[in-house]
Amino acid sequence: MTLPLDGLRVLDLSRVLAGPLVGQMLGDLGAEVIKIEKPGDGDDSRSYGPPFLNTADGRRTRESGFYLSANRNKRSVTVDLSKPEGQDIIRRIAQKSDVVIENFRVGTLAKFGLDYASLAAQNPRLVYLSVTGYGQTGQMADRPGYDAIFQAAGGHMAVSGAPDHLPGGGPTRSGLSIVDILTSHYGTIAILAALNHRDRTPDGRGQYIDLALLDSMVATLSHRGVQYLISGKNSPRRGNVGGGGSPSQAFHCADGQIVLTVGNDLQWQRFCDAVGEPALAQDPRFTKATSRIENRELLTPTLEAKFASNTKAHWLEVLGRADIPSGPVNELSEVFKDPQVRERGMVVPVVHPVSPSLPLIANPIRFSDTPLTRYDPPPMLGEHTAAVLREVLGCTDGEIEALRKIKAI
């Protein structure tokens, strides 16, 4: 069965997370993704452990969980970009590719003649994505940065975490590398749009995509950002309290926490009946969504006492019968045991060269006609160097050996 991007070739020069996640998504969708890595060390994320994948007999490998999360459905080729022969390999692969992904600092690849202008001169159809911290323009364009920097600078930390007056309050970093992950989604969308544009234009020309982590974070502020822009007021941190309804937050039960959202007045009526507090539904301070939000601090203590009186399972059953959106606050160990997660097939076991079973998180997209069934294991460092040089560039065994001798690969 064909996949949506069958026949597309992607040259992935990126490292760590945002860029590799773009390549992985395109690979999931069927593209051939050739991952270029530094000989000896490879992608920086290979060292981001523990944990590392173990062999069947318990020996630790160099395959970190971080690296494994972002590099399936790719072939690894080791190339030394500092050597002219290595640069030539990249140019030759780029001539036969549709997409290039890179996340080097601004100007780095131009020194090697591997920037968009140089490669597009040889292959005008090329779509070229550059992912950087601050973008290709602006006074900070040449500065480095990682995910946490942009969570802070882009406003995510300011709207995350508990209010200052509560214990542990203050701006809080996400537990996920959320900027990298969101940027990878923007990057994938941008590439698919550029490919569509290329294939609809008379000259079939590709284009350059300038994508910044900071821009992506600012764009993802969404309604919290627009609320500031129209009010001029900084958005308050609410911790685990939502802003789109009330009650809409986490509550402690006798054995853990649940989260629920009462999103409208009809749900409020059902909620009050379900939890055995019908009088709250008639209280004029709480009858309307706006009044419940305004009087949240008056309402919350009553509900906290109510939920603390019984278990998570009890309250989720009660709320489920009343059709109130709710769910448990799960540890990761609980997430992957959740019946719904399991039934949706969100964990996919694959055979890895050093392990008979590597569990990966599945792609969540469900196509009706082209299901995403391809889950090739993340490659070992340089695993496909010789094969790609033979198949894509037509190199002979002698030429490959000569490249190895000069350490270009």
Q: What is the mean pLDDT of residues 372-378?
A: 96
- Range 143-151 contact pairs with CB under 8 angstroms and sequence separation of 24 or more: 144/105, 145/213, 145/214, 147/17, 147/177, 147/178, 147/179, 147/180, 147/213, 148/173, 150/179, 150/213, 150/214, 150/216, 150/217, 151/178, 151/179, 151/217
Q: pLDDT tens for residues 355-373?
A: 988 999 999 999 999 999 9
Entry pTM: 0.94
Residue 266 in this model has a pLDDT that exceeds 90: yes
Comparing 9-220+343-405 with 248-331, is the CATH topology the same? no
Residue 183 in this model has a pLDDT that exceeds 80: yes
Residue 285 in this model has a pLDDT that exceeds 90: yes
With a pLDDT cut of 70, the percent of the chain lying above it is 100
- The pLDDT score that the predictor gives to residue 357 is 87
Q: Which residues are known catalytic residues?
A: 180
Confidence of residue 84 (pLDDT cuts 50, 70, 90): very high
Homologous superfamily (CATH) of 9-220+343-405 is: Crotonobetainyl-coa:carnitine coa-transferase; domain 1 (3.40.50.10540)
Name the H helices within 16-159. 18-28, 65-68, 84-95, 116-122, 147-153
Closest CA to 328 of 252, 248, 264, 239: 252
Amino acid at 251: F
Q: pLDDT tens for residues 226-243?
A: 999 999 999 889 888 887
- Mean pLDDT computed over every residue of the chain: 96
- Reading the block at residue 173, the tokens are 């970093």
Q: What is the mean pLDDT of residues 293-312?
A: 94
- The pLDDT score that the predictor gives to residue 1 is 73
Question: How far is residue 136's CA from residue 291's CA, in Å, rounded to a whole number?
Answer: 47
- The pLDDT score that the predictor gives to residue 8 is 98
Considering the four listed CATH numbers 3.40.50.720, 3.90.1200.10, 3.40.800.10, 3.30.1540.10, the one that applies to the domain covering 248-331 is: 3.30.1540.10
Residue 213 in this model has a pLDDT that exceeds 90: yes
Q: pLDDT tens for residues 5-62?
A: 999 999 999 999 999 999 999 999 999 999 999 999 999 999 999 999 999 888 999 8
- The pLDDT score that the predictor gives to residue 239 is 87
Question: How far is residue 396's CA from residue 389's CA, in Å, rounded to a whole number?
Answer: 8
H/E run at residue 100: strand 99-102
Q: Where are the domains of the chain?
A: 9-220+343-405, 248-331
Question: How far is residue 185's CA from residue 188's CA, in Å, rounded to a whole number?
Answer: 5
Give yes or no for a contact between 180 and 18, defined as CB atoms under 8 angstroms apart.
Answer: yes
